Structure 1
């Protein structure tokens, strides 16, 4: 009953995400019981988030978690069919077909910086130190403009971030000339140069972000949950879990207590709440005060 009652809400959240012109995306593996094989299979929980608060927007925040039985590129292509805005991911090749169809890629500096940081932890060198310091300066600019309107963010990026990004490209090119192409460091830098237009895209648009951390944070709770419930009992179980994550995370993003919200909405939907007023029950419109139906 609970899952059925939340279906209209999940559909509304999905629609809100797909109507946005900027989506952040990520995914994580989810073990799924596979009785026929005597072990668990690996399903996938995807996250698609629409959240513009860093650019001063007060628009509703929506986070959608679809579940799929595997990680083939056909899934994001199908899930995001019709979307033609900005898509920020961690260089997942599964989205390349969408980029060819008109979706604009926005890459993630945090993903690149993490690769360099891991190499620096294992084997520090002047090059890794230099790159980490330069990317750290990019994040200092980001902290300065967080929450400002897009125009102000764009001006600050042109004045402060662009010279830093241009200098980083010179460092990358110099490193690739000196390093063996087989070295881990060269491979990390090559990731940056291959995605350079997508990494630089935030400079010219104050609504875009430097990284994909919002989507990554949205999956942390899933990782913790997997350690507790171990696996989904079936594909249907994975889909139900995805629906609950969708509602809970969207509630949190809009400052709504998930437990109070779910309790109230299930009671209303299972009762006589009209489908024509479903929009009033969306997390960004919901009120904790009892709502009375019109006579």
Structure 2
């Protein structure tokens, strides 16, 4: 079901999930319930079976519509740089440095998510911030958010190939 679903409409994906995935999930749940009765609850496999049973509603939620993704790969990709950087950030100059690094990482990931070239965005925003004075309005700051900033700087849109290459680096 993977290949063609990328280009399928939400309605087509929903119909395919109802027709193909839901019966498999129902069969799996029947099997799981039967097996749970045979397992020791505190054993690793018993705990896994109980966890799966307790998460059943969430597990089958993607079958309720064609809009939902079947996986959380986008979230995993966004978190990957954080996981890779952990050792690099051991010495970020204490709590304040860690908070600043987290803010920068959040901005970079938000840029990527909105297809904004991060370096151009950060360079421009860091040049603009001192010019805003002591108490800029929320509306002014909102214009500096990556998705809003891109509207004023469309030349800095990142194409999907560039984003994939950055994720691989």
With the length of structure 1 as denominator, give the TM-score of the two structures: 0.45
| Residues 289/146 of structure 1: CA separation in 2 closer, same or farther (3 Å cut) | closer
Structure whose CA Rg is larger: 2
Deviation at 1:232, TM superposition (A): 4.3
Secondary structure of 1:217's counterpart equals helix
Match of 1:163 in 2: 23
Deviation at 1:142, TM superposition (A): 4.5
Is the Cα contact below 8 Å between 1:153 and 1:206 reproduced in 2? yes
Backbone CA RMSD of aligned residues: 2.6
Residue number among 34, 40, 43 corresponding to 1:183 in the alignment: 43
Residues 80-105 of structure 1 show CA distances to partners (whole Å, capped at 9, x for unaligned) of xxxxxxxxxxxxxxxxxxxxxxxxxx
State whether structure 2 residue 117 is matched by structure 1 residue 254. Answer: no
Match of 1:236 in 2: 96
Is the Cα contact below 8 Å between 1:251 and 1:258 reproduced in 2? yes
- Aligned residue pairs, count: 150
Residue number among 55, 61, 70 corresponding to 1:210 in the alignment: 70
Whole-angstrom distance in 2 between the partners of 1:180 and 1:144: 41
Structure having the larger proportion of residues in helix:
2
Is the Cα contact below 8 Å between 2:89 and 2:98 reproduced in 1? no
State whether structure 2 residue 80 is matched by structure 1 residue 220. Answer: yes
Whole-angstrom distance in 2 between the partners of 1:272 and 1:289: 24
Deviation at 1:169, TM superposition (A): 0.8
Whole-angstrom distance in 2 between the partners of 1:203 and 1:231: 45
* 1:1-295 mapped onto 2 (5 Å cutoff): 141-146=1-6, 148-272=8-132, 275=137, 276-285=139-148, 286=150, 287=153, 289=155
| Residues 172/268 of structure 1: CA separation in 2 closer, same or farther (3 Å cut) | same
- Unaligned runs of at least 5 residues, structure 2: 157-169
Deviation at 1:272, TM superposition (A): 4.8
Structure having the larger proportion of residues in strand:
1
Whole-angstrom distance in 1 between the partners of 2:9 and 2:125: 34
Whole-angstrom distance in 2 between the partners of 1:243 and 1:161: 40
Whole-angstrom distance in 2 between the partners of 1:250 and 1:162: 34
- Unaligned runs of at least 5 residues, structure 1: 1-140, 291-295
Residues 61-94 of structure 1 show CA distances to partners (whole Å, capped at 9, x for unaligned) of xxxxxxxxxxxxxxxxxxxxxxxxxxxxxxxxxx
Whole-angstrom distance in 1 between the partners of 2:14 and 2:68: 9
Secondary structure of 1:155's counterpart equals helix
| Residues 153/194 of structure 1: CA separation in 2 closer, same or farther (3 Å cut) | same
Deviation at 1:219, TM superposition (A): 1.8
